Amino acid sequence: MTEEPRRTDRGSGSEGDREDAADLEADRGSNRDRDGVAFASAADIEPKGNQEAVIDSRAACTSVDAGAGTGKTTTMLVRIERAIERGEVDPDDVLVLTFANEAAASIRA
């Protein structure tokens, strides 16, 4: 049996989305990689609203439709980290694609 992907549609950048993203960014603390990009482990981040549903989804694929600055990249990275911690995925089997250079730098961290 194949699990259906869960779609979390948060619109195109509502005020709540921006507040959630700001909270996630604040949770990242002052940890910085060699390029000055902030980073944190999943244990350091407290997801807000629908972010928790995306992170905890056991679906193989999840589509998230949200505006700029809403925490999509951070949510994805926390989801991947938790799946690795739970032993659900081998880190060598993870492929992450992004169009944004800033997101790519965050992913590399």
Rounded alpha-carbon distances, angstroms, from residue 27 to 8, 17, 23, 64:
22, 15, 6, 21
Q: Where are the domains of the chain?
A: 6-108
Comparing 21 with 69, the larger pLDDT belongs to 69
User: Tens digits of per-residue pLDDT, 56-100?
Assistant: 998 888 888 888 888 888 898 899 999 999 999 999 998 888 888
pTM of the complete model beyond 0.85: no
Q: Coil, helix or strand for 11? A: coil
